[in-house]
Amino acid sequence: GQSLEQPSEVTAVEGAIVQINCTYQTSGFYGLSWYQQHDGGAPTFLSYNGLDGLEETGRFSSFLSRSDSYGYLLLQELQMKDSASYFCAVRQTGANNLFFGTGTRLTVIP
């Protein structure tokens, strides 16, 4: 089986930096992905880490440590529009599907 743990809620101030953590347990591992979902909308792909280290895409970065079974999403220069739910997801070796975490609801306040 597999499991993913994320904080359920995070609140941060506009302009600040926030880190959303994700720890996973899975038999076989083929990468960690991050998705963003605004209220009432569909999830959209943010980033993917197949190897250890940091991946940067604009204000968003994602990090993976396979030895620690841990990753995080880093959001910089927070904007009000970043208020959304963020999901980490893992792919097991040989699988053609993703397993999603329960999501972290980020609230950005002025």
At closest approach, how far in Å is the CB of 58 from other proteins?
17
User: What letter does residue 88 receive in the DSSP assignment?
Assistant: E
User: Is 83 in contact with 107 (CB distance < 8 Å)?
Assistant: yes
At closest approach, how far in Å is the CB of 42 from other proteins?
4
Closest to 89 measured CA to CA, from 16, 26, 41? 26
Please give the residue ranges that form the binding site for other proteins (CB under 8 A). 30-31, 33, 35, 41-45, 48, 50, 87, 89, 91, 95-103
At closest approach, how far in Å is the CB of 3 from other proteins?
12
Q: Which is nearer to other proteins, 29 or 70 (CB)?
A: 29
Give buried/exposed letters for 62-99 (b at 16+ CB in 10 A, else e).
bbbeeeebebbbebeebeeebbbbbbbbbbbeeeeebb
Q: Which is nearer to other proteins, 3 or 79 (CB)?
A: 3
Q: Which is nearer to other proteins, 26 or 33 (CB)?
A: 33
